[in-house]
Amino acid sequence: MRYKRWLRAYASYEDKSLEWGSWLLSGGAHEGFKERFEVAATRAGMALRPGLTGKPFEVWLHHVFLDLLEHQSKLLFAGTRDEGGIIVRVCEASAVYCSDSKRIPCRQKTTARWPTSRRR
């Protein structure tokens, strides 16, 4: 089934001592794909919050999660701020988050023009 190939991110905010939540990736085309996403998300988290106090990977996913929650995106399943949820297609969600013109750090090295519409 095609949906099993989607890389998903599971968030839990039940442990209030974890500022950025607890995250788990699942699915994806193959293990190498998941690892490449982890590297890209870590870099994006470092660009997003240069002096951060958490793991850049978790910081990135936290910001993507909050954006999806704010926009009531279909890419977020059963999402709540207090408990967490599932980003069902985390690569697509990350791309949408980067495409917003307010998030310049994601696009610093990109010369191509990004679409301004936010498809969800």
Average pLDDT score over the chain: 82
Give me the domain span that covers residue 7: 2-107
Asked, for residue 112, whether it belongs to a domain, the answer is no
119 within some domain: no
**Both tokens assigned to 86:** 């599932």
Asked whether residue 95 is domain-assigned, the answer is yes
Q: Sorting pLDDT into bands at 50, 70 and 90, what band is 41?
A: very high
- Identify whether 113 is part of a domain: no
Q: 6-20, 84-98, 101-115 — which is least confidently predicted?
A: 101-115
Tell me if 114 is assigned to some domain: no
Please give the residue that has the higher pLDDT: either 105 or 9: 9
Is-above-0.75 flag for pTM? Answer: yes
Q: Per the structure, how many domains does the chain have? A: 1
**Rounded to 5 degrees, what angle do the CA atoms 29, 6, 3 make?**
110
Task: Indicate whether 25 belongs to any domain.
Answer: yes
- Would 88 be classed as within a structural domain? yes
Confidence tier at 9 by pLDDT (50, 70, 90): very high
